[in-house]
Structures are given as C-alpha cells and as structure tokens.
C-alpha cells in the first residue's frame, strides 16, 4: 500500500489536489526546467549562473535529478552538488529538505530580496537553504531534494534516516496545526495554504490541507500524524530562532527545550531568517558545528559555544540585545511575575482586584478594543513565555 493509499484509508474525506505538470505551470515555465535524471555537469571554480550572482568558489560536480529510493519503494529526486574530488575523498552531505521545490522559488520573488544582496548567492541554492557555491568550497556536499509529491518526486510524507549525524533546524517548524493553520483552534493563514497548493508542480497529488482546516478544526488524528515529536531527536542539534517570523518562533524554541539530545545549542538572532542563511559570520558558525559532528574535527565547538545566544528586540529608546550568552531556556535567572486584569481602571495590577468589573467593546468594529496598561518602576525584560489564564 502506498503512502497516499494509507492516508486515504485513515482519512476517507481527504482529497488530493492534482498539480499542474512542471512544463505547464506558470511559476516554472520561465526556469525551463527539464527532468534530467543522473545528468552530470562540472561547474568550474569561477562559474557564474548569471551576471550579478555569486561565483562558484570551488570546482563542483552537479548530479541532477539523482533518484533516491526510499524504504517504501518511492523515489525522490535530488540535485547533488559536491567537490569534484569527492569521488576519491568523500565529504559529508548536508540534506536540504523542505516543502519547496529545488528549482522553482528564489529570493528574487521576495520584496527587496529580504535584504539579501543578489551577489551573496549563486542561484543554485534551493529556497531557504544553503548555497552549494559556498559550501562545496568548505568541503561539503549539498543535496537539494524535491520532497515527496513535489516537482518530479513521487507520493508524499517524510521520515528521518538512521545515518543522520546532526541537525541544524534554522527557523524550526514542528506543528502545522498550532503554528500555522489553527492556532488556538482559530483558522488562520488559509490564503497561504491555498497559495502553496496552487504553487506546487509535479506529477503526483498534494493533500488538500486548506479543505482539511475546515473539516477537521480540532486537533485530531489527521493533525497528530503531521506533528513532529521533538522528544525523538537524539543527535546534536544547532537551532536558529528569532522573534521575527511567527511561523517559526514556537517550533524553534520548543525543539531546543524538549529535544533529548545531550548536545544542543540555540542562537536567537535579531534579523530575518534569509539574511542569516547567507551572511558570512553565521555561515562560519554553522560550519564549525558541522565540522565537529559531521567530520569529527575537535575544533572546540562544545567549549567555545554558549548553549543559548539570545537576542531581544528593543523598544523605543531601549536598544536591541544581540546574542547575549545564557544557560538554558527558559532562562535560569528569570523571575516570573503574575498580574491581574482590573477592568475598573483598565490596568494590569499585581494584586487581585477587590471588586468585579467589566470591560467590553464591539467585536464587529475592527477598530475597537479593550486595552490594559502597566507601568514599570525599572527596566523590564520579557525573555520567555507569557501565559493568560481565565
């Protein structure tokens, strides 16, 4: 039974959207994508994919659309970039796996390229992943995979591999229900769901998640099988997180907190995620992690790297905090405070109000609200989780 058939047997109401083929999809047409299984191309040092891009920094071998047979017989296809010397001198592989296809989306589609200069990347990188033009020079193979069901790959669903040495989830995402589509059981980001389904090209089917949001509003078995249980992670991990992208905040921090790995680090940056992927200093930092656990180089990573580097956004005249060293999260030195809503004065107070009061507003008025304020006598810092209890 295929993965698709298994899903249909468990969820009879699950429909699959048939995407347009690669050569008919408007997003793909301009790329001139052709299915070229096992094609070998040498990209010499100094090669430019196009003017204004980053040059390939080392002689690189590209194996296009390499078939990868999975345990259930389904094939995924990957573009593998590796040093030309890797036949004689094997190198570790960094697998770049995402729901995005390996050749159809780029930062050119993002407003002002999210601040990333065009010359920082080669154009061979898959969306939101490492640039092979940089990493083959550093002694790594970059494996850009079309996830199951995308582009030329077959069926859908992803699993980890027992040969995995380390994980670097930069801007994590672990729970499609709570973190993307139905946070607090309130439907959200449905436009994103429809746009994503319409943006996929390939020969297989894509789950109609936008419809399942409507028919499965509660966290049931359908959403449970899409939840990534981070307690199962036991390899060294380097998590990148931030407070700038609401899709990834919880997944990043939750992975760092609950993964059972005995070797784990987190860096919370104050910029946007794509800039971190291609700026030289973060790349050097990530390489040190990979060198230690993928190559076994004793480079002092464990002793030199704080378990948590925390950045916080300032407000008004309060400056940003950039990568301050901490131990664990929530912070060991945190001081929890409890405040109560006092509707009679529209304030947050440290003492339970003596009398009941009511604050209300017109929920049909998009400009209406009930606002509660609090004044601090000294500089406060919010660096952890906030909770509201009724």
| Alpha carbon distance 269, 81 (integer Å) | 28
Length of the chain: 390
**Residue 183 belongs to some domain of the structure:** yes
**Residue 285 belongs to some domain of the structure:** yes
For residue 210, the enclosing domain spans 3-326
- Both structure tokens of 302: 């464990």
| Alpha carbon distance 71, 17 (integer Å) | 25
What is the model's pLDDT at position 361? 93
**Residue 384 belongs to some domain of the structure:** no
**Residue 344 belongs to some domain of the structure:** no
| β-strand pairing of 75-83 with 141-146 | antiparallel
- Both structure tokens of 261: 């790995």
- Residue 355: phi, psi to the nearest 5? -125, 155
**Residue 342 belongs to some domain of the structure:** no
What is the model's pLDDT at position 104? 62
| Alpha carbon distance 196, 141 (integer Å) | 28
What is the model's pLDDT at position 11? 94
What is the model's pLDDT at position 154? 45
Instruction: Report the number of distinct structural domains present in the chain.
Output: 1
| Alpha carbon distance 279, 354 (integer Å) | 55
Mean pLDDT (10-residue bins), the chain, 390 residues: 81 87 73 82 96 96 91 83 96 84 73 88 90 97 79 48 86 87 78 73 78 91 90 94 86 92 94 86 96 97 96 86 90 90 94 94 91 90 83
Phi-psi region of 149 (alpha: psi -120 to 50; beta: other; left: phi over 0): left
**Residue 375 belongs to some domain of the structure:** no
Which residue's structure tokens are 């005249």? 317
**Residue 104 belongs to some domain of the structure:** yes
| Alpha carbon distance 27, 103 (integer Å) | 10
**Residue 251 belongs to some domain of the structure:** yes
β-sheet bridge partners, residue 241: 268
Q: Which CATH number do you get for residue 269?
A: 3.40.50.1820
């Amino acid at each position: 039974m295929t993965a698709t058939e298994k899903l249909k047997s468990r969820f009879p109401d699950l429909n699959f959207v048939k995407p347009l083929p690669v050569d008919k999809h408007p997003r793909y047409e301009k790329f001139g994508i052709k299915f070229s299984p096992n094609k070998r191309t040498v990209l010499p040092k100094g090669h430019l994919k196009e003017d204004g891009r980053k040059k390939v920094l080392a002689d690189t071998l590209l194996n296009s659309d390499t078939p990868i047979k999975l345990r259930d017989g389904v094939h995924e296809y990957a573009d593998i970039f590796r040093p030309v010397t890797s036949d004689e001198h094997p190198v570790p592989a960094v697998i770049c796996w995402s729901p995005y296809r390996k050749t159809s989306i780029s930062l050119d589609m993002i407003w002002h390229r999210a601040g990333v200069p065009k010359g920082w990347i080669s154009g061979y990188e898959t969306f939101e992943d490492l640039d092979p033009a940089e990493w083959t020079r550093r002694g790594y193979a970059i494996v850009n995979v079309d996830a199951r069901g995308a582009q030329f790959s077959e069926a859908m669903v992803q699993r980890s591999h027992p040969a995995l040495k380390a994980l670097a989830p930069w801007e994590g995402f672990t729970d499609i229900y709570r973190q993307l589509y139905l946070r607090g059981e309130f439907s959200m980001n449905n436009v994103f769901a429809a746009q994503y389904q319409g943006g996929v090209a390939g020969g297989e089917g894509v789950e109609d998640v936008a419809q399942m949001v409507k028919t499965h509003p509660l966290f049931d078995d359908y959403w449970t099988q899409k939840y990534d249980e981070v307690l199962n992670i036991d390899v060294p991990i380097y998590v990148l997180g931030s407070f700038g992208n609401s899709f990834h905040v919880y997944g990043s921090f939750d992975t760092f907190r609950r993964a059972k790995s005995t070797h784990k680090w987190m860096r919370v940056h104050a910029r946007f995620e794509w800039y971190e992927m291609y700026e030289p200093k973060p790349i050097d930092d990530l390489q040190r992690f990979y060198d230690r656990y993928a190559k076994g180089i004793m480079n002092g990573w464990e002793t030199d790297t704080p378990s948590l580097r925390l950045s916080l956004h300032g407000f008004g005249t309060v400056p940003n905090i950039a990568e301050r060293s901490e131990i664990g999260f929530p912070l060991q030195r945190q001081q929890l405070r409890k405040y109560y809503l006092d509707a009679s004065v529209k304030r947050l107070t440290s003492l339970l109000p003596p009398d009941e009061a009511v604050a209300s507003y017109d929920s049909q008025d998009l400009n209406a609200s009930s606002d509660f304020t609090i004044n601090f006598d000294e500089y406060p810092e919010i660096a952890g989780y906030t909770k509201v209890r009724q």
